[in-house]
Copies of this chain bind each other. A is one copy, B any other.
Amino acid sequence: MRPDGRQEALQLRPVHIEANYLKHPEGSVLITIGDTKVICTASIEERVPPFMRGEGKGWITAEYSMLPRATDTRNIRESSKGKVTGRTMEIQRLIGRALRAIVDLKAIGERTIWIDCDVIQADGGTRTASITGAFVALAFAMNKLSETKKLASFPITDFLAATSVGIVPEHGAVLDLNYTEDSSALVDMNVVMTGKGEFVELQGTGEESTFSYSQLQQLLDAAQKGITDLIQFQKETLGDIALKIEAHKG
């Protein structure tokens, strides 16, 4: 049995995605995966960064943060430190890159979509929960945009979700590690995949450890299983919007 009571190595924690969680943003969700909770919002700005002006296409950029007491001991705010840590930068670059893979940037025109992922409570897997939730917030915002601005086509080309997998002592490859499992894992891998089952990002690391080709294969199988399940939750939350994405994905 796993530390939080799960019976299966390839079992996700309970997942819940609350749609339209906030009143101001164009798209927003509160995603809950076990005890990890992230507010994801998508905001539309009617211009692109200077280096992209005049190219006739849009941009997606992401920011990630944790409340100081999202964790067991309080963290100093990055605004108080006066700088963003390397970990935060790595995560926000990952989120932005992943989402850009399933958006037709030409279809959204010269607009910037700002994705904000704010971790309210952390128990492992905050970056992958952020991607999975941000995809839904983005889909809501793109739906609103396509309804008000008469875009040439619906800009989202496929579903996208992410999960963590790892090798833990005794259990081998497990899916969706909570904080306790993550702390003891020998190998830790984050995988981002599309609805069609293609990879978007693969980041595996064996800090103070290494892993073999066959372990890699087990990890990828676990990830594929989890992502298929997560996309099912996304579809339920999105309702009719999911059909538009399906139509586009073809």
> What is the interface of chain A, defined by CB distance below 8 A to chain B?
22-25, 28, 35, 39, 41, 43, 45, 63, 65, 67-72, 74, 77-90, 92-93, 97, 100-101, 105, 114, 116, 118, 120-121, 189, 194, 196, 198-213, 216, 220
Contacts and interface: CB of A to CB of B under 8 A. Distances in A.
A223 B41 CA distance: 35
Q: How many copies does the complex hold?
A: 6
A175 to B, nearest CB: 18
A70 to B, nearest CB: 7
A199 B212 contact: yes
A170 B97 CA distance: 24
A220 B220 CA distance: 14
A201 B39 CA distance: 30
A83 B85 CA distance: 11
Given A25-B69, A93-B86, A43 B79 contact: no
A121 B79 contact: no
Contact of A114 (B45, B68, B209): B68
A7 to B, nearest CB: 23
Given A41-B69, A86-B89, A90-B93, A204 B201 contact: yes
Nearest to A201: B205
A174 B136 CA distance: 35
Contacts of A213: 199, 220
A3 to B, nearest CB: 15
B202 A67 contact: no
Contacts of A74: 25, 43, 45, 114, 116
A93 B198 CA distance: 27
Nearest to A81: B79
Given A63-B68, A120-B39, A206 B216 contact: no
B200 A69 contact: no
B206 A199 contact: yes
21 contacts: A22-B121, A24-B69, A24-B71, A39-B120, A41-B67, A41-B68, A65-B77, A74-B116, A79-B81, A80-B84, A86-B93, A90-B93, A97-B205, A100-B207, A100-B208, A189-B202, A198-B210, A199-B211, A200-B206, A201-B204, A201-B206
A133 to B, nearest CB: 14
Closest 6 CB pairs of A and B: A86-B89, A78-B79, A198-B210, A202-B204, A79-B79, A25-B69
